Chains A and B, each alone.
Chain A
Amino acid sequence: MSILVYVENIEGDFKKSAFEVVSYAKAIADQTGDSLTAISIGQVADENLSKLGNYGASKVLNVQNEQLKNFVNKAYGSILAEAAKSEQAKVVVLSNSFSGKGLAPRIATKLNAALADGAIELPEISGDTFKLKKSAFSSKAFATEELTTAVKVIAVNPNSYEVKETGGSATIESFTPSLNQDDFSVIVKEIVRATDKISLPEAEIVVSAGRGLKGPENWGIIEELAEVLGAATACSKPVSDADWRPHSEHVGQTGIVVSPNLYIAIGISGAIQHLAGVSSSKTIVVINKDPEAPFFKVADYGIVGDAFEVVPKLTEALKKFKNS
C-alpha cells in the first residue's frame, strides 16, 4: 500500500503548493506507515523531480508525453487513477488549485473514493476512517467530514499546510499510462500567464482595496505597496463589479477565498460577504477613514485615516524597513 501525491508543475517548475501537498501527504504516510509516491505529468527536468525527495517522496513517477503537455482534466484523471491502482494507493493527495478542482472529482469517481476538497488540516486517522476539517460556508465556519471508503482523495487548499523539508531523496521512474484518445476532446488554445504577478490564492501577502479608492486611476498606490511587500493585489466585489479591477482579483464569499499570512484591506468597509473570503488570514490590517467600518472589528491592526495619505507613507516606511 502507498500514498500517492500529484504534483502540479507550471511550465516545468514546481511552485510552493506542490511542496505543500508533498509535505501533507508525507505526514499522512508517516501516520499510516505507508510509502509516499509522487507523480508528475508533463515536461519536468529530472533535477526538479528529484527535489520532491527532500519533502518526503521516496519514489517519483514521471509521465512525459507530447500529448500531455497541457492539462486536460479528463486525461489527467485517467492517468492518476491508473497510477493509484498500480501503486495500490489508499490515499491520493493533490492541491485544491484551479486545475485540481476539475481533476480531483474525476480521480475520486474512477476509484470509487470519497473526496474531501478544500482540506485545511491533516486528517485525524483511526483505522480506515479519516476525519478532515474543511472550511465551509465560505470560511464563516468549519465542517468536519468523515471519509470511510477504502480509497480516499484529499484536495488540500493552497497556503494551509506548511512545507517541511525531510532531507530525503527519491528515485525517479518513468510511468507510461494507457492513453484513451476519447479523453482529449478538450483542446488548449492559449495560455496567458502574467509571470511578474503573484497568484492570489497562493500569495503570502495580499494588498486589497475597495470603493474608498474612488476610481481605477488611483490604484497606483495599491500596486506600489504590493510591490514593496511582494504581495498580490486584490479588491472588493463593488470594485470588480464596476470593472475598476478584473474579476480575478475579487476576494470574498462569491469570489476568491484567501488565507495569506498578511491581508491589508484599504478603503473596504467589511461587508459580511467580503469578510467571509478573508477571515482565515493570519493577520489582518485595516486602513479606513471611517472609524465605524465593520472591518475594524475583525482586524488585528488598524489605522483610521485617509488611504491617499496613509498608503504612500506606509510604502515609504516599508521601503526603509526593507533596506535597513
Chain B
Amino acid sequence: MFKTLIIMKILVCISNVPDTTSKITFTDNNTAFNSNGIQYIINPYDEIALAKAVELAEGGNASVTVINVGDQSTEPTIRKALAVGADEAVRINAAPRDAWFVANQIANYVKENPVDLILTGRESIDYNGTQVTAIVAELLNLPSVSIAKKLTINNNEATIEREIEGGKEVVSTSLPVVVGTAEGVAEPKIPNMRGIMSARTKPLNVIEPIDVTVLSKITGYESPTPRGAVTLVDAGNVDELVNLLHSKAKVI
C-alpha cells in the first residue's frame, strides 16, 4: 500500500542579534551601535520559532528552511540554526536596514519559493520591532497572527492561541499563514554533536537582495540616564517605605 506523503514546507525567519547579556554602547557620536566584543546569537524568539518548526518536522512530514537577511558575518548564527535541525538555509546577502527592507526580501523569496507556514519570532530583541511578521503577510496577501503562545497544525489547519491584554484568544486559519511566536509555542532546542556535525554540510544558499526603498532610518541613540543611589529602608520599618512611596515618589 502506498500512502501519499504530503510534505509541509516551513520557512523560519531568523535574525542575528546581540547576546542577551550584552552591554549596549554606541560609537560615532552615538549614531552607530558598538559591535565591538559583542557575541551574536539567534534572536531568542526566533529560536522558539525554529524549535517549533523542527518539532513539526519530526517524523518527516515537513521540511524546514531558515532564512536570514544579513551579510556574511551572520553565517555562524545560520549554521547554528541548521545544527538545531533546519534542513537548509537561505541568506539574503544584505545588511538588514529596516523592517520594511527585511520583510520585502523575505516576501520576495516566498513568491518564488512558496511555503505552507512562515514562522518569525514575536519581535527582535535589538530594535524591538514586531513588524516583519505582519508586513510579510501583507505583502503576500496571507493571514497572520502576531504574539502566538501556542500553535498546532492539523492537516491544513493551524490553531493558534495569541496573547491579548489580560487574557488569550484562540483562532484558527487554513495554511499558509504567518505566525510570530512567543514563549509557550516551543522550548528552544540546544544542538547536539550530531546536529553540529551535519550542519556543516547542509545547504546554505546565498541570494542577492532585491532593490527596496528603505522607509525609516535611525539617526541616533541614547543610553538611559542612571538612577540615583538606592534609599535603603530598615526591614523592621516598612511604614517608612509606605511613607516614601506616598510623599516622595508619589506613586501610591
Contacts and interface: CB of A to CB of B under 8 A. Distances in A.
A193 B125 contact: no
A303 B235 CA distance: 6
B171 interface: yes
Interface string B122-133: 110111111111
Contacts of B219: 131, 144-146
Contacts of A143: 127, 218, 220-221
A101 B242 contact: no
Interface stretch (B77-85, B138-146, B195-203): B138-146
Interface in A259-296: 261-262, 272-273, 276, 279-280, 282-286, 296
B37 interface: no
A273 B164 contact: no
A98 B171 CA distance: 14
The B contact surface, by secondary structure, is: mixed
Given A117-B131, A303-B233, A313-B238, A254 B44 contact: yes
B238 A310 contact: yes
A314 B238 contact: yes
Nearest to A305: B235
Interface residues of A, number: 101
B133 A102 contact: yes
Nearest to A312: B238
Given A73-B146, A145-B218, A193-B167, A137 B24 contact: yes
A106 B137 contact: yes
A177 B187 CA distance: 42
Interface string A92-118: 000001110111111011101111111
A320 to B, nearest CB: 8
A141 interface: yes
The A contact surface, by secondary structure, is: mixed
Contacts of A144: 218-222
Interface stretch (B51-59, B110-118, B224-232): B224-232
Nearest to A133: B222
Given A74-B144, A102-B133, A309-B235, A262 B227 contact: no
A149 B241 contact: no
Interface residues of B, number: 83
Contacts of B193: none
A10 B252 contact: no
B152 to A, nearest CB: 12
A169 interface: no
Q: Which of B26, B130, B134, B227 has the most CB of A within 10 A?
A: B134
Interface stretch (A28-36, A44-52, A56-64, A184-192): A184-192
Interface of A: 10, 15, 71, 73-74, 77, 97-99, 101-106, 108-110, 112-118, 131, 133-149, 182, 185-195, 197-199, 201-202, 205, 229, 240, 247-248, 250, 253-255, 257, 261-262, 272-273, 276, 279-280, 282-286, 296-306, 309-310, 313-314, 316-318, 321
30 contacts: A74-B144, A98-B162, A101-B122, A102-B144, A102-B145, A104-B134, A105-B131, A105-B132, A110-B138, A115-B100, A115-B131, A115-B215, A137-B128, A139-B224, A141-B222, A146-B217, A147-B216, A148-B216, A185-B174, A186-B143, A193-B164, A194-B167, A248-B168, A254-B44, A272-B20, A297-B230, A300-B227, A300-B249, A305-B235, A317-B239
- 8 nearest A-B residue pairs (beta carbon): A305-B235, A193-B167, A102-B146, A105-B134, A114-B215, A199-B166, A199-B165, A109-B138
Given A136-B126, A145-B218, A186-B177, 15 more contacts: A73-B144, A101-B134, A101-B180, A106-B135, A109-B135, A109-B139, A117-B131, A138-B125, A142-B221, A188-B169, A189-B159, A192-B168, A201-B165, A301-B231, A318-B252
